[in-house]
Structure 1
Amino acid sequence: MGLAKVSSFLLVILFLINGGSSTTFTIVNQCNYTVWPGLLSGAGTAPLPTTGFQLSSSESRLISIPAAWSGRIWGRTLCNQNETTGRFTCVTGDCASSQIECSGAGAIPPATLAEFTLNGAENLDFYDVSLVDGYNLPMTIVPNGGANGVGKCNTAGCAADLNGVCPEQLKVTVEAAGTTGVACKSACEAFGTPEFCCSGAFGTPDTCKPSEYAVFFKNACPTAYSYAYDDGTSTFTCSGADYVITFCPSVSSI
């Protein structure tokens, strides 16, 4: 093997060792309405090529995710752009950027969140679907092609439509939709007390227990986070996988 070929080979090896490989996220909209995904990178994490876009019903989009990325993805619903000012707003999941791109802003609760830490401890990917900040639409994470015997690579998420059955104390409605729910608040957002927010004297796993509202979320969505200390049945791991994030998946995908 010539010197040039050896050098090229070593560069490829170093590139892979140093985390040059990336993960593919496929974001799929199976809802019968348009969803505007929002994407937020964690602190100190490489930015993504997009932070927000429109995804029509039955449409999907592939995004290359940098190695060791962490962050969250969510869906915005009932969005429109003001014809006069150009300001873009959404009824649920809005990131208050006034644009389709969220540009470093996160979702305003309530919103269903897909959360990731790639290449974390022991080189595992950690992922979950969280209802801790409330719920606005069904969402699942499905890993594809994970390494055999590394992590559990389970499907995570909430395929149930909770807006119609949301407890009245948590239900979010808008005038245009009448009494139809468009989102479901968390108990913390609705009531703001330490026992619901797992704060203050309730800031540990021993003192903060699932409320009746957390139990409602957990019964409907067993593989989604229902409150802050719901780690044991809600966080999943995989290695070397690509991920499909689906809005409004069929119930059979859980």
Structure 2
Amino acid sequence: MISSDISLVEGFNVPTEFSPVYTDECSTRIKCTADIIGQCPNELRTPGGCNNPCMVFKTDEYCCTSGNCGPTNYSRFFKDRCSTSFSYPTDDLSSLFTCPSGTTYRVVFCQ
């Protein structure tokens, strides 16, 4: 089995869709195509993207250096727009999808 995900833990710069070429065992499509750059909170804005809060604030709350962290207002901002993506380091496994080994994937970068 191969696991796949889209992660916003390090920030966002390109809308993406990730899907297996259809098989009976795996038909889940993961996408993050929201206007995150246009809606990015001012404090996270960076040219051409939206930074992760760890890069900006450098605190355990956002960087999860202790391994014991939970969602924040910033991770919720990302999760609300891209619900099938990881939004902070210990986000739940509902954003991880598994397909059989040998699955062919299609990756689309959107504009």
Is this contact kept in 1: 2:20–2:28, CA < 8 A? yes
Corresponding residue for residue 185 of structure 1: 51
Q: Deviations over 1:190-222 (max 9, x none)?
A: 10101111113xx13xxx111100000000000
Distance 1:190 1:153 in 2: 36
Give 1:237's aligned amino acid: T
Percentage identity across paired residues of the two chains:
39
Corresponding residue for residue 166 of structure 1: 40
Is this contact kept in 2: 1:128–1:157, CA < 8 A? no
1:246 to 98, 103, 108: 108
Aligned pairs, how many? 110
Task: Using structure 2 for the length normalisation, give the TM-score.
Answer: 0.91
Q: Which runs of 5+ in 2 are unaligned?
A: none
Classify the secondary structure of the residue corresponding to 1:164.
helix
Corresponding residue for residue 219 of structure 1: 80
Written as runs of structure 1 = structure 2, the 5 A alignment for 1:83-122 is none
Corresponding residue for residue 199 of structure 1: 65
Structure of higher CA gyration radius: 1
With a CA cutoff of 8 Å and minimum separation of 6, indicate the structure with the bigger relative contact order. Answer: 2
Is this contact kept in 1: 2:20–2:29, CA < 8 A? yes
Distance 2:45 2:106 in 1: 28
Task: Using structure 1 for the length normalisation, give the TM-score.
Answer: 0.41
Give the root-mean-square deviation of aligned CA atoms: 1.5
